[in-house]
């Protein structure tokens, strides 16, 4: 199974909702889609909703870490929300939550960015 990325802009942030599997087969495509949306819309913040992400490997961690660096260079924040149990475990083990905020849902994430939907 591949991954589907739904991207929505809300003020100076984009929300990326991932469905499926983020692995070495799909990582480059997802990376390109997010980078393109961030440049096209000239946004500062990124919220990644991983509720429907059924699987992620180290390539997915690389996508997230790379976008974190990109957003941080713009003075923005990357927030992850709606993480299911298996993906959450991988992200915890990777140490990403030491540098990236985790929120329960999109509204909480957007509120922390002071972005009103």
Q: What is the domain-level CATH number for residue 106?
A: 3.30.750.24
Residue 102 lies in a domain: yes
Number of structural domains (the chain) is 1
Domain extent, residue 60, equals: 3-112
Count of positions (residues) in the chain: 117
pTM (predicted TM-score): 0.93
Residue 79 lies in a domain: yes
Residue 15 lies in a domain: yes
Within a 10 A sphere around the Cβ of 52, how many other Cβ atoms? Answer: 14
Residue 95 lies in a domain: yes
What does the block give as tokens for 59? 């390539």
Would you give per-residue pLDDT tens digits along the chain (117 residues)?
689 999 999 999 999 999 999 999 999 999 999 999 998 877 999 999 999 999 999 999 999 999 999 999 999 999 999 999 989 999 999 999 999 999 999 999 999 998 644
Residue 29 lies in a domain: yes
- The pLDDT assigned to 66 comes to 96
Residue 44 lies in a domain: yes
Residue 117 lies in a domain: no
The secondary structure of residue 84, as a DSSP letter, is -
Q: DSSP alpha helices (H): ranges in 1-117?
A: 27-41, 58-73, 85-94, 106-112
Within a 10 A sphere around the Cβ of 78, how many other Cβ atoms? Answer: 23
- The pLDDT assigned to 1 comes to 60
């Amino acid at each position: 199974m591949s991954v589907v990325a739904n991207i929505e802009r809300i003020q100076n942030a984009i929300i990326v909702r991932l469905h499926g599997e983020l692995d070495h087969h799909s990582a480059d495509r997802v990376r390109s889609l997010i980078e393109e949306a961030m440049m096209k819309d000239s946004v500062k913040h990124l919220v990644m909703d991983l509720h429907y992400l059924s699987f992620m490997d180290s390539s997915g961690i690389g996508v997230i870490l790379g976008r974190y660096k990109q957003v941080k260079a713009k003075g923005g924040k990357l927030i992850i929300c709606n993480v299911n149990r298996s993906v959450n475990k991988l992200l915890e083990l990777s140490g990403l939550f030491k540098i990236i905020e985790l929120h329960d849902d999109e509204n909480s994430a957007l509120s922390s960015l002071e972005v009103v939907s």
